[in-house]
A and B are shown apart, each in its own frame.
Chain A
Amino acid sequence: MSKTYNLTTPLTEEQTRMLKAGDIVYLSGVIFTARDAAHKRLVDLIEAGEELPFDLEGSVIYFVGPTPPKPGDPIGSAGPTTSYRMDSYSPTMLKHGSKGMIGKGKRNQDVKDACKEYGGIYFGATGGAGALLGKQIKSAEVIAYPELGPEAVRKLEVENFPVTVINDTYGADLYQMGREQYEVK
């Protein structure tokens, strides 16, 4: 039976190890945005042993390229992008302390293995619910790579941001579990 949790970032390994695929989590606190282009730069920095624009320890990375904010809003619509494009970078991020990722769609085995080994969670947010999700973001600040436009790294403050655990630290995959349950052969 799936459980519901309210968690505040940064996440600890104790917290991530208690989560199971299918659990619903309302996240609050600071999260960071990065898509393909930003991931490439972050991983290059890690490999060169250089300092990152934010502390990876316990961090949650949101795969999103928001729309421009309307005047007076912190951010525009901000739903998840498809995560497989980050598959080649995520294991390095997890190895260096990041504890969570928010996106949509399947991850490869390397990412699932890294979740097990380093205590990371892959959360799914509802794709195409950008207006609803954008409202849970209370502040947004570009902290690196402004030239990437929508793909710049942003520091977001979120409140009760609704996500579901897709891949947990035990190797379970909600996409597989859900599909097996409803597949008609």
Chain B
Amino acid sequence: MRVIEFNDVVKAVRDIIVHCGTDLPQDAYDALKQAMEDEKSPVSKEVLKQILENADIAKDEKRPLCQDTGLAVFFVKVGDEVKINGGLLKDAINKGTEQGYTDAYLRASTCEPFSRANLKDTVGYNLPAIIHFDIVAGDKIDIEYAAKGGGSENVSRATVFPPAAGKDGIVEYVKEVISNAGPNPCPPITVGVGIGGTFEKAAISSKHALFRTLGTHNEDPEMDELEQRILTEINNLGIGAMGMGGTKTALAVHIESNPCHIASLPVSVNVQCHSSRHTHITI
């Protein structure tokens, strides 16, 4: 067994949260820069210029990229030879989240669903974090983190098709979701598509798909082709940066596909705004 100290996990989580709040990851920055160069609409080009300038200011002056500093979402792979000394791994991740959000002056955005009371004083500052655990072989902890904003989450959708819907049905569905969303999710967006599994497996896959590095291809050639097909359809919608009209509505489409029940074809669409704050560490 490898023993990892509780406080080491807290510090590692705190550090990635502080970093992600102000420093747009290189893959997102590069994708936006490319979009600005390719964009045909002068108005959207100007918006993209402002978005990149914002990223420069945020990094240089350590200011949050966006006032919506998100809910903290984690995908954690825990090695079966790891033991945490001093507490539970889940508690360490939550504690690191609270410290990171507090130390970097990020916004506390969690609230009670109906009273809308902010949970900063009761549950904790921007707590609880959303954590998806998996157990793998080995003696390491692998943590993927994203700060997930509300505007793009609000336009995300899931459904379960009959198998006959096939690829065409999925393409039409994703197109419809993005078309209805229009300017609201802060385009240019990244579109995570979860296919197969069960209802919730598709949704979790669509979220995890957003963590993939922008500019990389799907390892499955069939899914890679489907990603490109959906991306073209989305960019043909003409929504553009912040919905001002343009040729770059999405930076990328990322698909995660799973085996599913013989009776169903679940599909979920999770949208990520242009401020794609995500990172990955191994402890």
Query: In the assembled complex, which residues on chain A have CB atoms less than 8 Å from the CB atom of B65?
Result: 77, 128, 130-131
**Which residue of the partner chain, among A82, A105, A134, A175, contacts B63 with CB atoms under 8 Å?**
A134
Nearest residue in B to A71 (C-beta to C-beta)?
B105
**Which residue of the partner chain, among B67, B116, B186, contacts A77 with CB atoms under 8 Å?**
B67
Q: Given A68-B105, A76-B67, are A131 and B41 also a contact pair (CB < 8 Å)?
A: no
Query: In the assembled complex, which residues on chain B have CB atoms less than 8 Å from the CB atom of A129?
Result: 50-51, 53-54, 66
Q: In the bound complex, how far is the Cα of B63 from the Cα of A68, in angstroms? A: 10
Nearest residue in B to A83 (C-beta to C-beta)?
B184
By size class, the interface of chain A is 35 or more
Nearest residue in B to A185 (C-beta to C-beta)?
B236
A67-B106, A178-B240 given; 10 more Cβ-contact pairs under 8 Å: A68-B105, A76-B63, A76-B107, A77-B66, A81-B151, A84-B184, A105-B184, A124-B183, A131-B54, A184-B236
Contact A149 B54 (CB under 8 A): no
List residues 91-106 of chain B with CB under 8 A from any CB of chain A.
105-106
Q: In the bound complex, how far is the Cα of B243 from the Cα of A181, in angstroms? A: 12
Contact B107 A68 (CB under 8 A): yes
Q: In the bound complex, how far is the Cα of B102 from the Cα of A76, in angstroms? A: 13
Query: In the assembled complex, which residues on chain B have CB atoms less than 8 Å from the CB atom of A3?
Result: none
The stretch of B2-10, B203-211, B244-252 that contacts the partner chain = B244-252
Query: In the assembled complex, which residues on chain A have CB atoms less than 8 Å from the CB atom of B66?
Result: 77, 79, 127-131
Query: In the assembled complex, which residues on chain A have CB atoms less than 8 Å from the CB atom of B54?
Result: 126, 128-133
Binary interface encoding of chain B residues 25-59 relative to chain A, with 1 for a CB under 8 A from any of its CBs, else 0: 00000000000000011011001001101100110
Contact A131 B182 (CB under 8 A): no
Q: In the bound complex, how far is the Cα of B154 from the Cα of A76, in angstroms? A: 24
Contact A179 B186 (CB under 8 A): no
Q: Which residues of B contact A (CB under 8 A)?
A: 22, 40-41, 43-44, 47, 50-51, 53-54, 57-58, 61-69, 105-109, 116, 118, 120, 149-151, 154, 182-184, 186, 236-240, 242-247, 273-275
Query: In the assembled complex, which residues on chain A have CB atoms less than 8 Å from the CB atom of B61?
Result: 131
| Max chain A C-beta neighbours (<10 A), residue from B154, B237, B238 | B238
Q: Given A126-B47, A128-B51, are A81 and B183 also a contact pair (CB < 8 Å)?
A: no
Q: In the bound complex, how far is the Cα of B237 from the Cα of A66, in angstroms? A: 32
Q: In the bound complex, how far is the Cα of B236 from the Cα of A181, in angstroms? A: 11
A-B contact pairs, 27 of them (CB 8 A): A22-B43, A64-B67, A66-B107, A76-B63, A76-B105, A77-B65, A105-B184, A106-B182, A127-B66, A127-B273, A128-B54, A128-B66, A128-B149, A129-B50, A129-B54, A129-B66, A131-B57, A131-B63, A132-B54, A132-B57, A149-B118, A150-B109, A164-B244, A174-B245, A179-B239, A181-B245, A184-B236
**Which residue of the partner chain, among B67, B120, B150, B247, contacts A79 with CB atoms under 8 Å?**
B67
Query: In the assembled complex, which residues on chain B have CB atoms less than 8 Å from the CB atom of A175?
Result: 182-183, 243-245
**Which residue of the partner chain, among B43, B69, B182, B245, contacts A67 with CB atoms under 8 Å?**
B69
Nearest residue in B to A106 (C-beta to C-beta)?
B182
A-B contact count (CB 8 A): 164
Binary interface encoding of chain A residues 22-35 relative to chain B, with 1 for a CB under 8 A from any of its CBs, else 0: 10000000000000
Give min CB distance, B122 to chain A, whole Å: 13
Query: In the assembled complex, which residues on chain A have CB atoms less than 8 Å from the CB atom of B58?
Result: 77, 131
Query: In the assembled complex, which residues on chain A have CB atoms less than 8 Å from the CB atom of B247?
Result: 182
Q: In the bound complex, how far is the Cα of B238 from the Cα of A181, in angstroms? A: 7
Contact A77 B64 (CB under 8 A): yes
Give min CB distance, B72 to chain A, whole Å: 15
Q: Is A143 an interface residue when CB atoms closer than 8 A count as contact?
A: no
Q: In the bound complex, how far is the Cα of B237 from the Cα of A174, in angstroms? A: 15
**Which residue of the partner chain, among B44, B186, B236, contacts A128 with CB atoms under 8 Å?**
B186
Query: In the assembled complex, which residues on chain A have CB atoms less than 8 Å from the CB atom of B68?
Result: 65, 79, 81, 130
Contact A67 B105 (CB under 8 A): yes
Query: In the assembled complex, which residues on chain B have CB atoms less than 8 Å from the CB atom of A181?
Result: 41, 238, 245
Q: In the bound complex, how far is the Cα of B154 from the Cα of A177, in angstroms? A: 24
**Which residue of the partner chain, among B64, B150, B237, B242, contacts A104 with CB atoms under 8 Å?**
B242
Binary interface encoding of chain A residues 129-173 relative to chain B, with 1 for a CB under 8 A from any of its CBs, else 0: 111111100000000000001100000000000101000000000
